[in-house]
Structure 1
Amino acid sequence: MNLRFVEAYYWAVSLKSVTRAAEKLFITQSALSARIAALEEELGVMLLDRRDKQFRVTVVGTRFYNYAQRLLELQRQIKAEMGSDQLRASMLRIGAIESVVHSWLGDWLQQMRADQPGFELELTVETTPLLTEHVRRGTLDLVFAALPSSGEGVRTRALAPMEMVFVGHALLHPRKRYSLADLARFDLLTFQRGSQPHLALLDAFRQEGVEPPRVHAISSISAMVQLVEGGFGIATLPRLVAERMAQRQPVRVLNTVALLAPLPLHVSYRDDPTSTVTLAALEAAAAFAGLRKRASSKKSIS
């Protein structure tokens, strides 16, 4: 039995789409369909119901799906034990929100490259709603977003949240401490309208009974920092991002009376019975995000 044919069938059923399975395996849709057809011919049964355009798995196809997962897991275990899989290149399609990209993603990827020499990256930077949809549809393997994804076969794990701070121009905002009433005199910049940071900012003002100022929704962290640098206003950013930006640009974290709600962070992924790279990346990212949070907390205390 050709395990490439088994793999094609496994992903078609997991993603409920021949098209998305073909994208996952980097082959054409016709090639994937041919592999499944060859597998059906070898087994002498129909695994997929092709009587209309709806994707349907037959009763025997459902039974074989469980065998397919076990076969692929066994193949992975054999390769790992025999050492034949150690240097094989493994493509991992990662998605991340900008807050992760501008904080610890680069350092984590350097560590991944050292621990997984065969690791190859395909990175997508998008907003949380798009990233969670990508992993649900199977077009991304692992995503770091502010909300967990959902769907059959999708797993989610909470990571260390990111502390949010107010960031101003180093010369234009020199005060040692700012109240919300002080901040209300400036234009404020935050993430997309309706996002967690946007809602948390408005909520902070409501709780203090302060009329919110003009709040501008900006989809790019780089654009936000450039606007702050140009004197346009004060931004809300993750502390890790702000500290990195302050090393290269005239911006500073402002000491404020009111605290912003932290930005939640979740990693969502699909189990891959053919590879250990996804789970290895998940564990490394969880540890890395935790280390960066503790380092940032120590700086803020000191």
Structure 2
Amino acid sequence: MNLRFVEAFYWVVSLKSVSRAAEKLFITQSAMSSRIAALEEELGVLLLDRRDKQFRLTVAGMRFFNHAQRLLALQREIKSEMGAGAQRAVTLRIGAIESVLHSWLIEWVQHMREGNPDFELQLTVETTPVLVDQVQRGALDLAFAALPTVGEGLRSRALPSMEMVFVGHAQLHRKRRYALADLAALDLLTFQRGSQPHVGLIDLFRGAGIELKRVHTISSISAMVQLVEGGFGVATLPLAAVQRLAGRLPLKPLKCEAALPPLPVHASYREDPSSSVAQGVVEAVLAYVGAPPRHRKNR
């Protein structure tokens, strides 16, 4: 039995789509359909109900899916034990929110490349709702977002949360310490409406009984940074991102009487019985992000 055909069937069922499974395995939709047809011919049963456009498994397909999971898990176990999985090229479709991109993702990718010269990256930078949807649909192998992705066959791990700070222009915002009332009188810039930083900002001032003057919602850190640099208000950004940018831009974290809620980060991926790559990458990310910054490049 050709295990590539078994793997094709596994992903068609897991993603409930021939086209998305083909995208996952980097083959054409027609090639994917041919693999399923060849598997059905070998088994002598229909695995997929093709009578209409709605995705359905046959009774035989449901039974074989359990066998497929065990076959692929056994294949991975054998490769691991015999050493066949060592030094393989790694291709990952990774998605991340902007906060992760501007804080540690680039350095981690460089670190990952040092230990895996054949590492091939396909990077998508999007908002959390978009990333969650893409992981659920199988368009991404791994996503770093503010919310975990939930669903059948999906796994999520919490990463260290990010400290959020108010950020102003180094020459324009000179107070030693800002009260919430001081900041409320300024133009405040934060992430898109409904995002965790936006909700956290609103709740912070609402809890203090302070009315905000204006809150501008912007999905791009680069845009927020340019606005602050131009003297247009104060932004809420991850401290790690500000520390990376402050060396070349006139930005500084503002000391405040109250702290913004930290930004949670979750790594989400789909369980793959044929490979532990995504899970291994998550473990590597946890080890990297959890290390003190001065030690990261030497890990």
TM-score exceeds 0.5: yes
Worse-matched range after superposition: 103-112 or 84-93? 84-93
Q: CA deviation at 1:292?
A: 5.4
- Is the partner of 2:150 in helix, strand or coil? coil
Q: Which amino acid aligns with 2:63?
A: R
Deviations 1:36-89 (A, max 9, x none): 000010011111111111111111211211111221122222222332322332
Question: How many angstroms apart in 1 are the aligned matches of 2:31 and 2:137?
Answer: 20
Question: How many angstroms apart in 2 are the aligned matches of 1:109 and 1:63?
Answer: 40
8 Å CA contact 1:170–1:251 kept in 2: the answer is: yes
Q: Look up the match of 2:181.
A: 181
Q: CA deviation at 1:28?
A: 0.9
Q: Look up the match of 1:99.
A: 99
Q: Does 1:232 align with 2:232?
A: yes
8 Å CA contact 1:104–1:292 kept in 2: the answer is: no
Worse-matched range after superposition: 15-24 or 112-121? 112-121
Q: Does 1:6 align with 2:6?
A: yes
Matches within 5 A, 1:174-253: 174-253=174-253
Q: Look up the match of 2:25.
A: 25
Q: Which amino acid aligns with 1:107?
A: E
Return closer, same or farther for 1:85/1:277 CA change in 2, 3 Å cut-off: same
Q: Which amino acid aligns with 1:80?
A: S
- Is the partner of 1:48 in helix, strand or coil? coil
Return closer, same or farther for 1:70/1:5 CA change in 2, 3 Å cut-off: same
Q: Look up the match of 2:16.
A: 16
Question: How many angstroms apart in 2 are the aligned matches of 1:294 and 1:264?
Answer: 22
Q: Which amino acid aligns with 2:181?
A: A
- Is the partner of 1:124 in helix, strand or coil? strand
Worse-matched range after superposition: 112-121 or 191-200? 112-121
- Is the partner of 2:32 in helix, strand or coil? helix
User: How well do the aligned residues superpose, as a CA RMSD in angstroms?
Assistant: 1.6
Unaligned runs of at least 5 residues, structure 2: none
TM-score by length of structure 2 reads 0.95
8 Å CA contact 1:191–1:218 kept in 2: the answer is: yes
Q: CA deviation at 1:33?
A: 0.6
Q: Look up the match of 2:147.
A: 147
Q: CA deviation at 1:115?
A: 3.5
Worse-matched range after superposition: 158-167 or 112-121? 112-121
Q: Does 1:69 align with 2:61?
A: no
8 Å CA contact 1:112–1:119 kept in 2: the answer is: yes
8 Å CA contact 2:185–2:212 kept in 1: the answer is: no
Worse-matched range after superposition: 124-133 or 76-85? 76-85
Unaligned runs of at least 5 residues, structure 1: 296-302
Q: Look up the match of 1:110.
A: 110
